[in-house]
Amino acid sequence: MAGVYLSFPFCAQKCTYCNFASGVFPSDLEERYLDALGNEIRAHQWRWTPETVYIGGGSPSRLEVEKLAGLLEMVPGRPWKEATIEAAPGEIDARKTAGWREAGISRVSLGVQSFVQNELSRTGRRHTAHTVAADVRMLREHAIENINLDLIAGLPHQNIASFAESLDWIERLDVPHVSVYMLEVDQDSRLGRELLDSGSKYGASSVPSEDEIVAMYQFAVERLAHLGIYRYEISNFARPGSESLHNLKYWRLDPYIGFGADAHSHDAGVRWRNAGTAAAYVARSERGRTVVADRTFAIPQEEKFFVGLRLAGGVHLEPAEWERFEAPIVRFLDQGLLEREGDMLRFTGQGILYSNEVLQEFIHA
């Protein structure tokens, strides 16, 4: 079954660790962007009716309720099986939450990252632990129980004790879904660039070591499992039945269409990506050009490994796939990074920690 992703790359502030194509942009660009986004959705020729919708960013929780509802009205299939909006803590109020429910939103993902004030301040986040608690309470008062909280392992000044404090809040708030991401270090974030340059800005000199980050992640796996929240994908944990229906589509190679800046799509064996920034996306739209920046043909066997192995259940392989990828499979089985059960292949607990290196081996193998 298919899904729809709507990109809203506008934020109140740009966090130091963020490597997404989002940021603080002029208000007039936001209005032009919404016009372009609406035009793209209206022009789409629907081959199927979506069952899930995901509105990500950026901080789409900044959107006025009427504008959000207007965008969702253009997407067929309501009521969807699941409709998620990403929200920044502190941007939720009673009117907005009621409007989300009326517009068809059934799931909210809060970008918490940490519940510890020192860690939040160093990354540019403005909320507190009590802000998150108030938001969760507000959502539940409006019958939105399907809530995800994001955490990052590896923030400046973070250690195993402070990370445990964030997990204490997870237990206290009793949400059904948690995402735990290990800090990504690359040129697309200010903190990442500073770390690569061996600098000290943005708290780079106090970022935990790789071993400490791994320890935090493993601690989260154990602690969340104790709470009945189990890992079903490398970075995603849920109580049984509360897995993200939309995100599962990415890992199961189901079709999905992305609208907006830097949005990706996959359908009928083809992948395509829209212009990577809000400004470039709007410029293409206003000039009457396609907003699609590139297209590629999917290689099903390679993609099956690259996305399917991320799932805790692993992937089911056909005899031809075992034969084609025999060399990397045997090597990783011998190294204890993969395990086989019948025709299923999955990561071991140790293998998950080296998932990026393992998955790369199945590209053009």
Instruction: Assess whether 53 and 202 both reside in one domain.
Output: yes
Asked if residue 101 is part of any domain, the answer here is yes
Instruction: Assess whether 35 and 181 both reside in one domain.
Output: yes
Distance, in Å, from the CA atom of 140 to the CA atom of 54, rounded to the nearest integer, reads 20
**Model confidence band, residue 364 (pLDDT cutoffs 50, 70, 90):** low
Asked if residue 274 is part of any domain, the answer here is no
Range of the domain at 11: 3-251
Instruction: Assess whether 226 and 338 both reside in one domain.
Output: no
Asked if residue 280 is part of any domain, the answer here is no
Check whether 363 has a pLDDT greater than 80. no
Q: How far apart are the first and last CA of the chain?
A: 29
Instruction: Assess whether 99 and 198 both reside in one domain.
Output: yes
- Give the type of residue at 152: I
pLDDT digit string, tens, across residues 183-242: 988 888 888 898 888 898 888 899 999 999 999 999 999 999 999 999 999 999 999 999
Please provide the DSSP assignment of 168-222 as one string: HHHHHHT-SEEEEEEPP-STTSHHHHHHHTT--GGGGGGPPPHHHHHHHHHHHHH
Asked if residue 56 is part of any domain, the answer here is yes
Asked if residue 77 is part of any domain, the answer here is yes
209: its two tokens: 């070591």
Pick the more confident residue, 163 or 186: 163
pLDDT for 343? 94
Instruction: Assess whether 23 and 153 both reside in one domain.
Output: yes
Count structural domains, the chain: 2
Instruction: Assess whether 172 and 93 both reside in one domain.
Output: yes
Asked if residue 323 is part of any domain, the answer here is yes
Instruction: Assess whether 229 and 101 both reside in one domain.
Output: yes
Instruction: Assess whether 55 and 165 both reside in one domain.
Output: yes
